[in-house]
Amino acid sequence: MEVHRNDRAQFDLEEFLGRPLLAHVASFSDAGPRSSLFWYLWEDAALWMILEEGFNTLQERIRADPRVAVGFADFDPATGFLQHVSVRGTASLEPWDDERAGRLLRRYYCQLQDYREAAPHLGEEVRGAHPMLFLRIHPESVFLREQSYRDQVLRG
Protein backbone atom coordinates (compact mmCIF):
# COMPACT_ATOMS: atom_id res chain seq x y z
CA MET A 1 0.00 0.00 0.00
CA GLU A 2 1.44 3.35 -1.00
CA VAL A 3 0.96 6.11 1.58
CA HIS A 4 1.19 9.77 0.56
CA ARG A 5 0.93 12.86 2.78
CA ASN A 6 0.69 16.58 2.36
CA ASP A 7 3.47 18.51 4.08
CA ARG A 8 1.46 19.01 7.32
CA ALA A 9 -0.02 15.51 7.67
CA GLN A 10 1.94 14.09 10.58
CA PHE A 11 -0.94 12.11 12.08
CA ASP A 12 -0.95 8.31 12.30
CA LEU A 13 -3.04 6.41 9.75
CA GLU A 14 -3.84 3.54 12.13
CA GLU A 15 -5.02 5.94 14.84
CA PHE A 16 -7.09 7.94 12.34
CA LEU A 17 -8.83 4.84 10.96
CA GLY A 18 -9.47 3.73 14.54
CA ARG A 19 -11.83 6.68 15.02
CA PRO A 20 -15.58 6.02 14.57
CA LEU A 21 -15.98 8.17 11.46
CA LEU A 22 -18.12 7.68 8.35
CA ALA A 23 -16.63 6.15 5.21
CA HIS A 24 -17.83 7.70 1.95
CA VAL A 25 -17.46 4.97 -0.71
CA ALA A 26 -17.49 5.88 -4.41
CA SER A 27 -18.01 3.20 -7.06
CA PHE A 28 -18.76 2.96 -10.79
CA SER A 29 -22.00 2.16 -12.59
CA ASP A 30 -23.17 2.23 -16.22
CA ALA A 31 -25.18 5.34 -15.31
CA GLY A 32 -22.18 7.11 -13.79
CA PRO A 33 -20.44 7.27 -10.42
CA ARG A 34 -22.31 6.40 -7.23
CA SER A 35 -21.55 6.96 -3.55
CA SER A 36 -22.61 5.42 -0.25
CA LEU A 37 -21.92 6.14 3.42
CA PHE A 38 -20.84 3.37 5.78
CA TRP A 39 -19.68 2.64 9.27
CA TYR A 40 -16.43 0.72 8.94
CA LEU A 41 -13.82 -1.36 10.71
CA TRP A 42 -10.11 -1.09 9.89
CA GLU A 43 -8.77 -4.60 10.45
CA ASP A 44 -6.22 -6.88 8.76
CA ALA A 45 -5.00 -3.99 6.56
CA ALA A 46 -8.47 -3.65 5.02
CA LEU A 47 -11.68 -1.68 5.46
CA TRP A 48 -14.72 -3.78 6.35
CA MET A 49 -18.32 -2.59 5.92
CA ILE A 50 -21.65 -4.34 6.44
CA LEU A 51 -23.97 -4.88 3.47
CA GLU A 52 -27.49 -6.25 3.36
CA GLU A 53 -27.88 -8.39 0.25
CA GLY A 54 -30.36 -6.84 -2.17
CA PHE A 55 -30.72 -3.60 -0.19
CA ASN A 56 -29.01 -1.47 -2.87
CA THR A 57 -27.10 -1.93 -6.10
CA LEU A 58 -23.61 -1.62 -4.61
CA GLN A 59 -23.06 -5.38 -4.71
CA GLU A 60 -23.83 -5.43 -8.45
CA ARG A 61 -21.49 -2.50 -9.07
CA ILE A 62 -18.64 -4.17 -7.15
CA ARG A 63 -19.11 -7.42 -9.07
CA ALA A 64 -18.94 -5.47 -12.36
CA ASP A 65 -16.02 -3.21 -11.40
CA PRO A 66 -14.27 -3.61 -8.03
CA ARG A 67 -12.39 -0.29 -8.16
CA VAL A 68 -13.46 2.11 -5.41
CA ALA A 69 -12.42 5.30 -3.68
CA VAL A 70 -13.16 5.94 -0.02
CA GLY A 71 -13.03 9.29 1.77
CA PHE A 72 -12.93 10.11 5.48
CA ALA A 73 -12.94 13.51 7.18
CA ASP A 74 -12.58 14.32 10.85
CA PHE A 75 -13.79 17.89 11.15
CA ASP A 76 -14.64 20.24 14.00
CA PRO A 77 -15.64 23.70 12.72
CA ALA A 78 -15.54 25.14 16.25
CA THR A 79 -11.80 24.52 16.51
CA GLY A 80 -10.73 24.51 12.86
CA PHE A 81 -9.59 20.88 13.14
CA LEU A 82 -9.69 19.05 9.80
CA GLN A 83 -7.94 15.84 8.85
CA HIS A 84 -8.78 13.99 5.67
CA VAL A 85 -7.85 10.52 4.41
CA SER A 86 -8.69 9.15 0.99
CA VAL A 87 -8.19 5.55 -0.11
CA ARG A 88 -8.09 4.06 -3.58
CA GLY A 89 -8.34 0.34 -3.93
CA THR A 90 -10.34 -2.71 -4.87
CA ALA A 91 -13.43 -4.09 -3.18
CA SER A 92 -14.66 -7.63 -2.72
CA LEU A 93 -17.78 -9.18 -1.25
CA GLU A 94 -16.97 -11.43 1.69
CA PRO A 95 -19.00 -13.87 3.82
CA TRP A 96 -20.69 -12.70 6.98
CA ASP A 97 -18.79 -13.01 10.26
CA ASP A 98 -20.74 -12.37 13.48
CA GLU A 99 -17.61 -11.56 15.48
CA ARG A 100 -16.31 -9.02 12.96
CA ALA A 101 -19.76 -7.44 12.72
CA GLY A 102 -19.88 -7.14 16.51
CA ARG A 103 -16.48 -5.41 16.59
CA LEU A 104 -17.56 -3.00 13.85
CA LEU A 105 -20.89 -2.11 15.43
CA ARG A 106 -19.49 -1.67 18.95
CA ARG A 107 -17.21 1.11 17.62
CA TYR A 108 -20.32 3.19 16.90
CA TYR A 109 -22.98 1.99 19.33
CA CYS A 110 -20.63 2.25 22.29
CA GLN A 111 -20.32 5.99 21.68
CA LEU A 112 -23.93 6.28 22.90
CA GLN A 113 -24.51 6.41 26.64
CA ASP A 114 -27.10 3.62 26.64
CA TYR A 115 -24.97 1.27 24.52
CA ARG A 116 -21.64 1.45 26.35
CA GLU A 117 -22.26 -2.08 27.62
CA ALA A 118 -23.05 -3.44 24.16
CA ALA A 119 -24.52 -6.92 23.82
CA PRO A 120 -21.79 -9.52 23.29
CA HIS A 121 -23.60 -10.96 20.24
CA LEU A 122 -24.34 -7.68 18.48
CA GLY A 123 -23.35 -9.10 15.06
CA GLU A 124 -25.91 -11.90 15.35
CA GLU A 125 -28.63 -9.46 16.40
CA VAL A 126 -28.09 -7.24 13.37
CA ARG A 127 -27.99 -10.14 10.94
CA GLY A 128 -31.40 -11.46 11.88
CA ALA A 129 -33.24 -13.10 8.96
CA HIS A 130 -31.67 -10.89 6.25
CA PRO A 131 -28.80 -12.17 4.11
CA MET A 132 -25.79 -10.10 5.15
CA LEU A 133 -22.25 -9.88 3.86
CA PHE A 134 -19.17 -7.71 4.11
CA LEU A 135 -17.71 -5.26 1.69
CA ARG A 136 -13.93 -5.56 2.06
CA ILE A 137 -11.77 -2.82 0.60
CA HIS A 138 -8.10 -3.53 0.02
CA PRO A 139 -6.24 -0.18 -0.14
CA GLU A 140 -3.73 0.27 -2.92
CA SER A 141 -2.95 3.91 -2.19
CA VAL A 142 -3.77 6.17 0.74
CA PHE A 143 -3.57 9.95 0.93
CA LEU A 144 -3.38 11.77 4.29
CA ARG A 145 -4.10 15.47 4.43
CA GLU A 146 -3.84 17.79 7.41
CA GLN A 147 -6.11 20.71 6.56
CA SER A 148 -6.75 22.24 9.97
CA TYR A 149 -7.06 25.98 9.72
CA ARG A 150 -7.35 27.41 13.22
CA ASP A 151 -3.84 28.89 13.20
CA GLN A 152 -4.27 30.44 9.75
CA VAL A 153 -7.60 32.05 10.71
CA LEU A 154 -6.28 33.42 14.01
CA ARG A 155 -3.14 34.87 12.34
CA GLY A 156 -5.17 36.54 9.57
Residue 154 has pLDDT above 80, yes or no: no
Give kind and range of the element (H or E) at residue 89: strand 81-94
Residue 110 has pLDDT above 90, yes or no: no
Q: Average per-residue pLDDT in the chain?
A: 87
pLDDT band, residue 117 (cuts 50/70/90): low
pLDDT band, residue 108 (cuts 50/70/90): confident
**What is the Cα–Cα distance from 41 to 21, expressed in whole angstroms?**
10
pTM of the model: 0.86
Tell me the domains of the chain and their CATH numbers: 2-155 (2.30.110.10)
Answer yes or no: are the C-beta atoms of 141 and 72 closer than 8 Å.
no
CB-based burial label for 32 (10 Å; 0-12, 13-18, 19+) = exposed
User: What type of residue is 23?
Assistant: A
pLDDT band, residue 15 (cuts 50/70/90): very high
Q: Which of 41, 42, 48, 44 is nearest to 108 (CA)?
A: 41
pLDDT for 105: 87
